[in-house]
Structures are given as C-alpha cells and as structure tokens.
Structure 1
Amino acid sequence: MARPLVVKVTCGAEDAERCNQAFTVAAAAAAAGAEVSLWLTGEAAWFAVPGRAEEFALDLATPLDRLVGAVLTSGTITVCSQCAARRGIVEGDLRDGVTIAGAAVFAEQVLAEDVQALVY
C-alpha cells in the first residue's frame, strides 16, 4: 500500500512548469492509490478559485483543472490560510472540495508517521 503524500506547491503561472509538476505528481499519486494532500501556497492559492485552473495553460501538459479534479476524487486540496488572506480569498470563493487551513494543520500532516512530503 502506498504511504501518504503531502505536496506543497509554492508557485503559480509565473513558474508554470514547476507548478504543473506539483499538480501532476499529486494527481498521479492519487491515481496510484496514495492518500494525497495537496497544499496551495503563494500564487498557487489562486487555483483554488473556480475558473483559475481552467485558465492555466502549459504546452504538452495535462490541463490543470483535470489534475485538480483527479486529486479531489480521493485526496484533499488545502489553501494556506495566510496566502489566502493576502489575496483576499475566503472560503466562499473556493471551488467545491477545497478548504483553507494554517501551518499547524500542515505541520501535523507532514509529521505524521510514514508521510512523504514534497515541496515544489
């Protein structure tokens, strides 16, 4: 059985390849049966808002909105509370299935037994 995976993406469209890689790894791990928790920080926080992932484009990459959907089928997506606040994003702005949480929740997840954490 796959161990839990926490993926933190710290960039948005300004670093499209790194951003897309984080979403791709999270979606692939979810498809492989891993328990996935994807954290959106910095400019990636915008992808929690409906329509924003659909606007993202990267040649030869799976569309970001499909990757978001793949993660949400069996995993979770969380927006950093400070990152959301700095951008004026509140719970009511989020796409279905996405939540906002702070550093204490992130730390709890990455410090859990057998967790693999990746930061992009």
Structure 2
Amino acid sequence: MARTLVVKATAGSDSPERCAQAFTVAATAVASGVDVSLWLTGESSWFALPGRAEEFELPHSAPLAELLHVILSNGQVTVCTQCAARREIGESDVLPGVRIAGAAVFVEEAMADGAQALVY
C-alpha cells in the first residue's frame, strides 16, 4: 500500500520559517515519489494566488514558488474553504490545479489508510 503525506501549512509570511518548512517537506516528499496533499490554511492561503509565492523570501530556503511548482506538478494543493472565504479567495482566483475544500475532505485524507499528517 502506498503511503500518503498530508501536510497542513498554517503560516505564511507571518511565520516564514514554519511556512517554508511545510513547503520544503511537501516538495521533498513529492520529489521522493510520495503521494502528497498540501493544505494551505490561515495566512498560507495567499500562496494559492498567482504571483504570491514569488514574493516570499527566506534566506537559505528554496524559493517558495519552485517548491509550490514541484508540489502542483505531482501532488495535490488545497486551500481551506473557510480560510479562502475570509480572504475573499474564490475558485477563479487560485492557480491552476489548486482546489478549495473543507474540513471534511482534510479529515478524510488524514484518516485514510497509510496516511501521515503533519501540521506546520
């Protein structure tokens, strides 16, 4: 049975090291052949919008836009429904391949057989 890694990023530019760690772990897992689902919640929700990841800077960290590209190319990226609504982010606003979904979908993914969930 293939294992799945579900990563929830709860921070954005407000906590750059925690944010970068979530994206780095998710992208590394994807590059290693692991099935990955990255959830963008709270301030990390903004990175689902075009151009936002390019604005993120953290010394000695891989560019967030590159990490996001790796994840989108072979994984799943989801923005929390409530987080998106609070920021007035809609389906037509997000990058291609990003979906908006709620807690029920997160719980389903996190509780699936063979899933490992991490929250940053």
**TM-score class, shorter:** over 0.9
CA RMSD of aligned residues (A): 0.9
Tell whether the 8 Å contact from 1:2 to 1:33 is kept in structure 2 after alignment.
no
Segments of structure 1 that go 5 or more residues without pairing to the other structure are none
Structure 1, residues 68-102: CA drift from partner, whole Å, max 9, x if none?
00001110000000000000000010011101000
Amino acid corresponding to residue 19 of structure 2 in structure 1:
C
1:34-49 equivalence runs, <5 A: 34-49=34-49
Tell me what 2:110 maps to: 110
Q: Aligned pair count?
A: 120
Amino acid at match of 2:24: T
* Matched-pair identity in %: 62
Pairwise CA distance, 1:114:
1.0
Larger helix share, 1 or 2: 1
Q: Who is 1:32 aligned against? A: 32
Letter in 2 for 1:85: A
Give the structure-2-normalised TM-score: 0.98
* TM-score computed with the length of structure 1 as normaliser: 0.98
Residue 68 (structure 1) aligned with residue 68 (structure 2): yes
Shift of 1:2: 5.5
